């Protein structure tokens, strides 16, 4: 009888909506968007050497990869809500270490931020798979892109501007966003997600679920799509500005191109509607195919620098399309009992691409000039186009329920 007088909002945890997950994605984008331009400046200022800066980023990528694969094992011992909270606290530790600005604290800050991103990404994707049904995964992805569009468009410029005024300023702003992210997460009361009872079996070791991943070709293909999409962004964000400087176009062309591209994230719902009409298989193939062709053309027409810039910007449109629909083959193929584990595998695409892209570019530059990187990226994207042809043609297509017309 007492329960009759308790407000409903206090008696039952509210069911999270797609907009709630998009809000979390937008707040994390604000954290990372502010850091993406300020962090390299802080690392270089602390180490005073470009080669040492590259080594620190390489090591941070390896740490994040290993850490992300260990998160599912940790969530067997620690409730998921506390794991997500730990990720937010790692962001705050990273900000504090960056503000110190010493030769040892800034590299540790980079590692903390990388581990924080891996932790929150794994937990976030597990929550999405818990509460968003397969039919709405596409809408969820596109809504997240819209909420993250402004932070990614404004954050990099803001980070550089604040760094010029006062070096700790961008890290204080990013720390404020991390605190907001943590508060919003607890207000939404996501808890530990839906608990799926498994059949009785011994607990797997931290890397034991990799065997199950490699036995599922659909998951391998979905992970590969994420890796190649991320590699495409690496080439666009890192090597287009370098090409512009070497070609005499100035040092602002790359930044302007990135800001224009990030503004396209506001069109994510329209891209999602196009993808639903084409089916997941067709939309992924169209995006990879056209993106690969444009990158190839950009590399081959490097004698015309502005043509290369225009072609890579056109290619970035399809990278945005892949941000919206490219993750669906993986997310739609995950078994409910393996959500947390496979989310950890999926999150590794960012760290793998951060190791693969600089390594591949280093090899290309041994035998070819800088435009050869665009050609190599185009070839990799076209390989993904061929792999996408193996996807089931009805993946993601809405079907009527059995027994109904």
Q: Name the residue among 23, 252, 319 with its Cα closest to residue 151.
A: 23
Encode 175-196: b = buried (16+ Cβ within 10 Å), e = exposed.
Answer: bebbbebbeebeebebebbeee
Q: Token match 């260990």: residue? A: 70
- pTM of the complete model: 0.71
The pLDDT tens digits for 133-177 are 767 777 787 788 788 888 888 887 788 788 878 889 999 999 999
Query: pLDDT class for 402, splitting at 50, 70, 90?
Result: very low
Query: pLDDT class for 339, splitting at 50, 70, 90?
Result: low
- Per-residue pLDDT at 286 exceeds 60: yes
Whether residue 270 sits in one domain with residue 379: yes
Give the burial class of 164: count Cβ atoms within 10 A of its Cβ; 0-12 exposed, 13-18 middle, 19 or more buried: exposed
The pLDDT tens digits for 10-39 are 344 567 788 889 999 999 999 998 887 778
- Per-residue pLDDT at 45 exceeds 50: yes
The pLDDT tens digits for 256-270 are 777 777 777 777 777
**Which pair of tokens denotes residue 76?**
């067997």
Query: pLDDT class for 396, splitting at 50, 70, 90?
Result: low
Return the higher-pLDDT residue of 226 and 206. 226
In the chain, the number of structural domains is 2
Residue 292 falls inside a structural domain: yes
> What is the domain extent for residue 382?
215-392
**Beta strand ranges found along 287-343 (DSSP E):** none
Whether residue 299 sits in one domain with residue 173: no
- Per-residue pLDDT at 234 exceeds 50: yes
Whether residue 308 sits in one domain with residue 184: no
Report the alpha-carbon distance of residue 120 to residue 298 in Å, rounded.
36
Task: Examine the fold and report which residue of 175, 191, 207 is the final residue of a domain before the chain moves on.
Answer: 191
Q: Is 64:117 a contact under the CB 8 Å cutoff?
A: yes
Whether residue 260 sits in one domain with residue 128: no
- Per-residue pLDDT at 199 exceeds 70: no
Please give the pLDDT value at position 203.
47
């Amino acid at each position: 009888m007492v329960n009759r007088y308790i407000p409903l909002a206090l008696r039952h945890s509210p069911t999270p909506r797609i907009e709630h997950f998009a809000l979390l994605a937008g707040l994390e984008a604000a954290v990372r968007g502010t850091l993406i331009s300020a962090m390299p400046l802080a690392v270089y200022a602390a180490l005073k050497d470009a080669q040492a800066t590259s080594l620190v980023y390489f090591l941070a990528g390896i740490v994040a990869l290993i850490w992300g694969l260990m998160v599912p094992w940790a969530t067997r011992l620690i409730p998921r809500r506390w794991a997500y909270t730990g990720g937010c606290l790692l962001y705050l530790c990273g900000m504090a270490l960056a503000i110190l600005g010493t030769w040892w604290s800034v590299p540790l800050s980079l590692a903390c931020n990388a581990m924080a991103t891996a932790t929150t990404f794994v937990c976030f994707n597990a929550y999405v798979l818990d509460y968003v049904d397969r039919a709405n995964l596409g809408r969820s992805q596109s809504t997240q892109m819209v909420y993250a569009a402004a932070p990614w468009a404004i954050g990099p410029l803001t980070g550089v501007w604040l760094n010029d005024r006062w070096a700790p300023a961008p890290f204080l702003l990013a720390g404020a966003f991390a605190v907001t992210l943590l508060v919003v997460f607890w207000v939404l009361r996501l808890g530990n997600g839906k608990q799926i009872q498994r059949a009785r079996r011994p607990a797997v070791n931290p890397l034991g679920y990799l065997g199950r991943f490699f036995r599922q070709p659909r998951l391998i293909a979905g992970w590969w799509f994420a890796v190649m999409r991320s590699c495409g962004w690496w080439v666009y964000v890192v090597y287009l500005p370098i090409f512009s400087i070497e070609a005499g176009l100035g040092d602002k062309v790359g930044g302007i191109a990135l800001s224009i591209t990030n503004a396209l994230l506001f069109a994510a719902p329209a891209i999602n509607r196009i993808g639903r009409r084409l089916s997941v298989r067709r939309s992924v193939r169209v995006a990879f195919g056209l993106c690969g062709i444009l990158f190839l053309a950009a590399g081959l027409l490097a004698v015309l620098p502005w043509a290369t810039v225009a072609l890579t910007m056109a290619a970035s449109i399809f990278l945005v399309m892949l941000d919206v629909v490219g993750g669906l083959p993986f997310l739609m193929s995950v078994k409910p009992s393996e959500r947390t584990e496979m989310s950890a595998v999926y999150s590794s695409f960012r760290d793998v691409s951060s190791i693969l892209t600089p390594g591949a570019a280093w090899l290309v530059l041994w035998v070819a000039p800088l435009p050869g990187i665009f050609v190599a990226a185009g070839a990799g994207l076209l390989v993904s186009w061929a792999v996408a042809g193996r996807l089931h043609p009805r993946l993601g297509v809405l079907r009527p329920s059995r027994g109904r017309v």
